[in-house]
Amino acid sequence: MTRSSEQIEAARQDSLGRLLLNAHRAHMSVFLEKIRQQGADDRINASLTNIMTHIPAEGIRLADIAKASNMTRQSVSQFVSELETIGYVKRIPDPSDGRATLVRFSHKGWDIMQRALQVKHEIESEVAKKLTPDGYAQLIIALKIVGSL
């Protein structure tokens, strides 16, 4: 049995690696599109949203964002500066340690963050709706397994 080039192409697209990559890209691009529709700044991107998810209401030290996000302090510093330029975040001195700066949301930033969480839930239920009843839970389990290969 000879396989057409379409079938070969389909098989390639079905590999776990490619599916994971495509899924991640699609998810991220839908997410960015939706939060921009919610009024997020056009300069917002994957890296900046990643940083933002690590900032709690009370603020957090730059070095702690670095630990939580597995990035260097230098990279985080750069992204925090971009967030500062956009006006989503402020650097304030840490009262308990003269070396440290706390990164804290501005009103605008906090607002967008709430909308982002909302959008995240929307996307997750959209996916869940397209799966069998416990399909979403299974997906999460499977992804955790792959993530800890």
Residue 9 within binding range of a second copy, rule CB under 8 A: yes
The first and second tokens of residue 144, run together, are 């955790």
Residue 110 within binding range of a second copy, rule CB under 8 A: no
The first and second tokens of residue 61, run together, are 């030290």
Minimal distance, residue 132 CB to a second copy, in Å: 8
Q: Which of 26, 37, 85, 87 binds a second copy (CB under 8 A)?
A: 26
Looking at the DSSP bridge assignments, the partners of residue 102 are 61, 92
Where in the chain does DSSP place strands (E)? 60-61, 89-93, 101-105
CB 94 within 8 A of CB 100: yes
- Give the interface size with DNA as a residue count (CB under 7 A): 27
Report what 111 binds from DNA, a second copy, none; CB cut-off 5-8 Å by kind: none
The first and second tokens of residue 52, run together, are 């933002």
Binding segment toward DNA, per CB under 7 A, in 1-9, 69-77, 118-126, 141-149: 69-77
Residue 99 within binding range of DNA, rule CB under 7 A: yes
CB 32 within 8 A of CB 47: no
Residue 102 CB: number of other CB atoms within 10 A? 19
CB 104 within 8 A of CB 83: no
Residues at the interface with a second copy (CB under 8 A)? 5, 8-9, 12, 14-28, 30-31, 53-54, 56, 68, 120, 123-124, 126-127, 130-132, 135-136, 138-149
Residues at the interface with DNA (CB under 7 A)? 45-47, 50, 61-64, 66, 70-75, 77-78, 80-81, 91, 94, 97-102
